Amino acid sequence: MASISDNLDTTSKDLLRTSVETKKQKDFKNAHPKMTPKQLIQKMEKKGIKFDIMSKDEAEKRIKENTYYFKVGVYRYNFDKDQNGKYKNLDFAYLDDLAIIDMRFRRILLNMSLDLEHSLKTLLNSVIVEDKSEDGYTIVQDFADRFKMDLSQIYGASKNKLHYLKPINDKHSECTSIWVLFELMTFGDMSKFLEFFFERTTIFKMRFKYPARLIKYAKNVRNAAAHNNPVLINMRGNKISPDSKIKQVGNKAGISPEIYRNRRVNDILCLFFLHDMYCSVGVKNHLINELEDFSKRCRKNATYYKDNAHYSIFRKTTKPFKVCKPLHIRVLSCP
């Protein structure tokens, strides 16, 4: 059904849109207008951001060709301002460096999430196949009923997704087995399934104790990494009470409670802990190599962070990442 605006020309649409805007919306748009890279650099200068290490021309080129302002500028919130509201000791090069570090970290986190997803699905499948009380089909329907899921949706609600899943859809959509469900379910669905399965199973139950408790937190950082959202920001506020296992992991890692009670840190620690517990030795060894390279990159520009407590670990002589049992991150253990 067509809306009223579908029959209006561009000018009339603009008039209609502005007539229904609130004053708050209009004020916000006026305060944050669209800007060219050159205009953004001028605005940054007014806020106290310097261009001593990276020149304005270099910064403009970076914003035009390699990134965009919002992706880089978000890291400024972890730098202090003076009494006049201008940033202290902040060069654009610092923001650019953090954007690169965060990008590399997100890739590591996403790969870890994929490793963990595969390992947990493999474990679930092997346990269910060996369980004589399960036929492989009833559990799927019980799971769908529990969460009021439409199983047809996992085969693709859109034509584009169905294009890739058509062979599976044609054969299995009328009667979905658990091994097909594992192939199609999202990470979020797997998170729900692990909680459901832990309550349901009577064999090897304790093997699913920690995934059932912690996977929902690992899912948060997985989604952030998959959607390319910044991770290494707001590392001190937004406190929660972590799971007792994560408190143990944090304490063993030498991370202060002030840090591991942060939601982001909690989510990341959950992912590292589960990855260490459920992924193969070969996968973990590969991760160790990635972390060692990442650790070197974190310290490449250590002088940038000499006055910033949020990123103080980047300037330390010890490696930000240390591998132990359980695997953990030192990059987050700021004083």
**Separation between Cα atoms, residue 126 and residue 59, nearest integer Å:** 53
Supply 67's token pair: 């990134």
Residue 72 clears pLDDT 80, i.e. is over it: yes
pLDDT tens, position by position, 16-26: 566 677 888 88
Contact 121, 187 (CB under 8 A): no
Residue 104 in this model has a pLDDT that exceeds 70: yes
The tens digit of pLDDT for each residue in 78-94 reads: 888 999 999 988 999 99
Output the pLDDT for position 330: 42
Sole residue written with tokens 């002589």: 317
Give the residue-averaged pLDDT of 215-219: 97
pLDDT at 316 over 90: no
Looking at the DSSP bridge assignments, the partners of residue 329 are 321
Structure tokens at 198: 């832990």
> Which tokens hold the place of 300?
């490449």
pTM, two decimal places: 0.84
